[in-house]
Amino acid sequence: MAVTDAAFLTLLNQLSGETRRELLGIWDALDDYGDAGASLFYELARPLIEASAAAAQDATTGYLTSAGVALRAPADPIFAADAAAKAFDPFDRLARNLASGMTWDDAVAGARSVVNSLGSDAVFRSTRDTIAQTSYRNGEWKRRLSGGCCQWCMKLSNVTFDFASQAMFGHANCRCVPLPVTPNMAARNASIRRAEGFDPAAEERYDQGQARSRLRRSARTARERGRQAADELVTEQDPARRRRLEQRVDAWNVRAEAADRRLELMDT
């Protein structure tokens, strides 16, 4: 029996919720938010995030097969690895928050919100990437909206794409995904737009040139950060900081490779 869009999205939301709860549990149990805490969080969170992203990829290819979409390749593990490589992001946010003059409590709360995002993005971004990477052209594609979505996603929900890779874009906490067009998708998206108070005058256009520029910047930034961490590693003597820098080098390299792969998908 075919898996419905609704059942597929329900599964993704459940997986995302479980991942977010487990990651927040790890974060809340930390005794330290310095280098030692960052390394410990990375070691505990990374395999959890990668497993969740891989599960989302498996669910996605299962859904696509059920929906009759021809698959051109197995799901690429780089996208699950990329999701896991972001496990240092809460600590980067904490450092920026403190540098901007936030109080400690507010800075930690802001970093905790990034932990929550990691659980959501591990599932939904990996899903979008996998749909784009594995799917042949299969008629028409549209982005299926989720409840609570933003104006940017809503203004793009009427756009019809020839390829899933044209609709793989997203943002932090984005739960919208490109799916083959079904008879009820337009009505469902319209219902969400009405419920969210969408401005119908918003421009229904997506600039893929800007998306490519963002991905190129992401790849360039990741490589620069990786080189910086590698340079620091050469002279660092403290074992805890060496371990964190080694983790950083690996994570930035994965993020650069994943950005390159997304650029390839947008150009094919």
For residue 56, the model assigns a pLDDT of 97
Better pLDDT: 139 or 220: 220
- CB crowding 231-250: b at 16 or more within 10 Å, else e: eebeebeeeebebbbebbbb
Q: What's the pTM value of the predicted model, to 2 decimals?
A: 0.85
User: What is the average pLDDT across 141-165?
Assistant: 83
For residue 268, the model assigns a pLDDT of 66
User: Which has the closest alpha carbon to 191: 133, 247, 231, 144?
Assistant: 144
Length of the chain: 268
Report how far residue 245's alpha carbon sits from residue 175's, in angstroms, rounded to the nearest whole number: 32
- 180's tokens: 């083959």
Under 8 Å CB-to-CB from 182, ≥6 apart: which residues? 5
Per the prediction, the chain carries an average pLDDT of 88
Say whether pLDDT at 151 is over 90: no
pLDDT one-digit tens code per residue, 199-225 = 655 444 455 667 778 888 888 999 999
User: What is the average pLDDT across 69-98?
Assistant: 95
| Domain residue ranges in the chain | 5-202, 207-268
For residue 159, the model assigns a pLDDT of 82
